[in-house]
Amino acid sequence: MSPSFHRLAARNRLSGRTPRHGLVIAFAMLAILVLSGSTLPPGATPFHLLGVPSDGGTPVRIQGWERDGVVYVSVNDLSRFLGLEYYWRSDLGQLTLSFGSQGLTVTEGSEIAALGDKLIHLPGPVMMWNNNIQVPLEVIVDEFGQARSWTTQKINYYPRERRLAAKRERGNSLRDIRIMQDPQGWKLVLRASGRFRHQVLSTSQQSFVLRLRNVNFDPVMFTLPPDHAWFQGLRLRNVPDALEISFSAAPSTVGYTVTASRSEPTLEVLLGIDERDLREGNLEEFSGRGAGPAQEITRIVLDPSHGGRGQRTHIDEGARSFAVCEELAATLQIDFGIDVVLTREKGDNPNAENRLNRANRARADLFLSVHVPEREGGPSAFVASIPQASAEVPNELRNLGFQPTVGVQEDALNQSRLLARSILESVATELNSPPMGLYEEAIPELQGAVVPAAILEIGVTKTKLSRKEARKMARGIIEGLKLFVVMGEEEQP
Ligand SMILES: [Zn+2]
């Protein structure tokens, strides 16, 4: 007999019901269990998750099952745990999950989820089982276990531990950004959900960069204003602990002001056009030149991944990564006068140690390894994992099984993260493909590097890369290097 039968019987005794009455209920209960409770869809195995609430309260059990590597959970359990609302339209077989105003719609039998006009491909179809709507866990987390951008309740999924942890929402998000006309010129008005501090990193006319501390923005949900003649190439990106805003001011502008409101979480950047305002001190003067990598970086080690003999797929990847590095090297050398050292020749495939030795001997300013595997999805980047002893190591990394390692890379790690983020974001923008993520892993080439070091991985869906495609990737990396230099200037005292 099942434990629930015993519990039910015991409760009935306590409540003073007659045993006979209790028995009837118990039998009815058992019948329901046999008919529905313990069965799973064909080929599925039970996969229960532990839901850890954001307030540190008692973890809850979320019933789930797995089939062909896809974890399903019932929408009931999921919504109860996350405080998620859902609406089921049985006539359409459509389910909308929502956190406040943001919603994701899925359809029974379909692997496509709709988020506004964006589509998310799920690893399995939404289905009905035991009168419960069952959804792949990937409606709320991506394949790396990171919260989907539509979920305002942040969640992390740890497959090894079968743990779903809701994170307390921290900080502040960008609510609105608009460009408006002003008597003095044009202004960019930024509004966040709460108070923030700002910092102006670069006041160059070509590259005006500022940061809003502890503010983040959601690249999927947030729509940037259309390209504007005054704020050219306006770009937003999340950097560690801040939102970074960058643009080029139109050549006809003569100065700027940056003003934070005292009463509201808004910031205005004004671009003025009248020389008199500048003379009268109503505008500040731009600083001269925009920072370019040539001023700061004199030598780069590029590591084209794989190469030479080996598995067929790795020969192809080696050729692709070499093609990207060749384009990159040519631009860095010719256009920026930067020295480039490659870790391998076109046909070889040295091991990690040899690559690392070459890199460290080169006395370069940074190390970048490029992988171009065959896979779907946007670019990703890697930096070395950090030692467990460090106060910065989040528990989540330990829980994911990352091993503590102490290496020479430790001192350069903050710069490596900055490098990886800068390149990742710029490549994603150039390829118009949202980044998959920035990961910390115990990779020997990175751990042993004495300078800022990162791996960039750009997935492609075909074997060969055209020259045009390689150039596009190289262009994205160059833009990332420029950003890295602009930001690096601020980071170093
Ligand atoms: Zn690779």
Q: How far is the CA of 295 from the centre of ligand 1 (A)?
A: 31
* pLDDT tens, position by position, 316-340: 899 999 999 999 999 999 888 889 9
Say whether 182 sits in a helix, a strand or coil.
strand
Task: Please give the pLDDT value at position 220.
Answer: 58
* Residue that wins the pLDDT comparison between 437 and 33: 437
Q: How far is the CA of 372 from the centre of ligand 1 (A)?
A: 6
pLDDT(450) > 90 = no
* Among candidate residues 344, 359, 477, the one with its CA nearest the CA of residue 409: 359
Q: How far is the CA of 162 from the centre of ligand 1 (A)?
A: 28
Q: How far is the CA of 313 from the centre of ligand 1 (A)?
A: 9
Work out the percent of the chain whose per-residue pLDDT is above 70.
80
Q: How far is the CA of 442 from the centre of ligand 1 (A)?
A: 15
* Among candidate residues 415, 77, 378, 60, the one with its CA nearest the CA of residue 219: 378
Q: How far is the CA of 447 from the centre of ligand 1 (A)?
A: 17
Task: Please give the pLDDT value at position 381.
Answer: 93
Domains of the chain (ranges, CATH numbers): 3-37 (no CATH), 45-167 (3.30.457.10), 172-279 (2.60.40.3500), 293-491 (3.40.630.40)
Residue written as token pair 């490029």: 370
Q: How far is the CA of 373 from the centre of ligand 1 (A)?
A: 5
Task: Please give the pLDDT value at position 34.
Answer: 45
Q: How far is the CA of 301 from the centre of ligand 1 (A)?
A: 17
Tokens matching residue 461:
């869906």
CB 199 within 8 Å of CB 267: no
Q: How far is the CA of 455 from the centre of ligand 1 (A)?
A: 10
Are β-strands 154-158 and 163-167 bridged in parallel, bridged antiparallel, or unpaired?
A: antiparallel
* pLDDT tens, position by position, 365-412: 899 999 999 999 999 999 887 554 443 445 555 555 444 444 578 777
CB 273 within 8 Å of CB 182: no
Q: How far is the CA of 314 from the centre of ligand 1 (A)?
A: 7
The mean per-residue pLDDT over the stretch 472-492 comes to 78
The mean per-residue pLDDT over the stretch 116-135 comes to 86
Specify the range with the lowest mean pLDDT, choosing from 73-87, 248-262, 285-299.
Answer: 285-299
* Among candidate residues 81, 51, 49, 79, the one with its CA nearest the CA of residue 65: 49
Q: How far is the CA of 307 from the centre of ligand 1 (A)?
A: 10
Confidence of residue 201 (pLDDT cuts 50, 70, 90): confident
Q: How far is the CA of 123 from the centre of ligand 1 (A)?
A: 23
* Cβ neighbours for 205, distance < 8 A, ≥ 6 positions apart: 248, 249, 251, 253, 286, 290
- What stretches of 424-476 adopt beta strand conformation (E)? 437-441, 453-457
> What's the CA gap between 340 and 330, in Å, rounded?
9
Task: Please give the pLDDT value at position 476.
Answer: 96
Q: How far is the CA of 188 from the centre of ligand 1 (A)?
A: 42
Max CA distance (Å), the chain: 96
* pLDDT tens, position by position, 225-259: 877 888 987 888 877 678 889 888 888 889 999 99
Q: How far is the CA of 98 from the centre of ligand 1 (A)?
A: 38
The mean per-residue pLDDT over the stretch 266-281 comes to 93
Radius of gyration of the chain (CA): 27
> What's the CA gap between 17 and 194, in Å, rounded?
56
* Among candidate residues 155, 169, 170, the one with its CA nearest the CA of residue 51: 155
